[in-house]
């Protein structure tokens, strides 16, 4: 092989290799900010499965998703609120356990179909709380799979509708989409090129 061609092939290989590596890279939100609160329910038995699904309570995300979330949190902080995190990256095997319990694509992404945007490190389940840690009512508990969780259900008090509006408008401004059936779920819009992952959460032994 002549030298320019060899150089071209090497560069092509290196750029493809770095693309594959960067596709898999997730960052830990705690390394980027101390301004969030956390209640990672799947790291406890207090969730809709009733079992601990994660070995540790960490929030991992694609770097650009974490950056957008930091900006959203800043927006909420300026209004007297902060984001409380329920879930971030979720390994595909955990998605399969969820699907086995609730095989309804309106509430759990089908791991045998497109999967969940959580499996790409590009979705989060969140709520708001006040900066001094007070509860903000959203009309249902997290992972309540029923019409009280639907975002097109307006049969709530003015206070709840105002809280939801604040959450949805803030998140949409920073590149997140809502889904109709879960007020707590937000998918980063530009996730189409991200890979579905099954790497376990990085927990110290
Ligand atoms: C299971 C629930 N917290 C959730 O995230 N549902 C969406 C639809 C998902 O699995 O992607
Ligand atoms: Zn979700």
The pLDDT value given to residue 146 = 98
The answer to whether position 42 is within a domain reads yes
Helix (H) or strand (E) holding 168: helix 158-173
Domain range for 125: 3-193
* CATH number of the domain to which 98 belongs: 3.30.1380.10
Cα 10 to Cα 199: distance, rounded to the nearest angstrom: 29
**Which residues crowd ion ligand 2, with CB under 5 Å?**
125, 185
37 close to 59: Cβ distance less than 8 angstroms: no
Q: Say what the pLDDT of residue 204 is.
A: 81
Q: Which long-range contacts (CB under 8 A, 24 or more apart) does 18-27 make?
A: 23/193, 23/194, 23/195, 24/195, 24/197, 24/199, 25/62, 25/63, 26/60, 26/61, 26/62, 26/63, 26/89, 26/121, 26/197, 27/60, 27/61, 27/62, 27/63, 27/66
pLDDT at 184: 98
> Does 150 carry a binding-site annotation?
no
Whether 154 is covered by a domain: the verdict is: yes
| 203: in domain | no
Q: Is residue 21 part of a domain?
A: yes
Residue 202 placed within a domain = no
Residue (of 89, 90, 133, 93) closest to 112 by Cα position: 93
User: Which pLDDT does position 1 carry in this prediction?
Assistant: 57
What was the pLDDT predicted at 205? 64
Q: Assess whether the C-beta atom of 127 lies below 6 angstroms from ligand 1.
A: no
Q: Which residues are catalytic?
A: 182
Nearest CA to ligand 1 atom 8: 108
Would the CA dihedral through 46, 48, 51, 55 be positive or negative?
negative
Is residue 156 in some structural domain? yes
Closest residue CA from atom 2 of ligand 1: 108
User: Is there a domain that residue 108 lies in?
Assistant: yes
The confidence score (pLDDT) of residue 2 equals 59
Looking at the structure of the chain, the number of domains it has is: 1
> What is the Cα–Cα distance from 203 to 183, expressed in whole angstroms?
29
pLDDT less than 50: residues of the chain: 3, 6-21
ipTM of the complex: 0.99
Q: If you search the block for the tokens 């790497």, which residue do you land on?
A: 199
Q: How far is CA 16 from the centre of its chain?
A: 27
**pLDDT value of position 147:** 98
Is the CB of 126 within 6 Å of ligand 1? no
Query: Which ligand 1 atom is the nearest neighbour of the CA of 143?
Result: 3
Residue showing tokens 């949190």: 73
The closest of 173, 181, 109 to 144, measured between CA atoms, is 181
Q: pLDDT tens digit string along 105-132?
A: 999 999 999 999 999 999 999 999 999 9
Tell me if 9 is assigned to some domain: yes
């Amino acid at each position: 092989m002549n030298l320019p061609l060899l150089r071209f092939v090497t560069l092509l290989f290196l750029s493809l290799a770095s693309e594959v590596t960067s596709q898999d890279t997730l960052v830990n939100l705690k390394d980027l900010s101390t301004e969030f609160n956390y209640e990672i329910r799947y790291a406890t038995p207090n969730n809709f499965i009733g079992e601990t699904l994660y070995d540790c309570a960490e929030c991992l995300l694609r770097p650009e998703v974490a950056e957008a979330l930091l900006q959203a949190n800043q927006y909420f902080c300026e209004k007297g609120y902060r984001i409380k995190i329920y879930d971030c990256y979720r390994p595909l095997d955990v998605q399969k356990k969820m699907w086995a319990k609730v095989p309804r694509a309106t509430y759990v992404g089908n791991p045998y179909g497109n999967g969940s945007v959580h499996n790409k490190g590009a979705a989060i389940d969140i709520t708001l709380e006040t900066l001094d840690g007070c509860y903000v009512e959203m009309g249902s508990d997290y992972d309540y799979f029923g019409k009280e969780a639907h975002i097109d259900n307006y049969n709530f008090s003015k206070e709840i509708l105002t809280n939801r509006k604040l959450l949805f408008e803030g998140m949409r401004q920073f590149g997140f989409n809502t889904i109709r059936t879960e007020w707590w779920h937000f998918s980063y819009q530009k996730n189409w090129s991200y890979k579905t992952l099954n790497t376990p959460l990085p927990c110290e032994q």
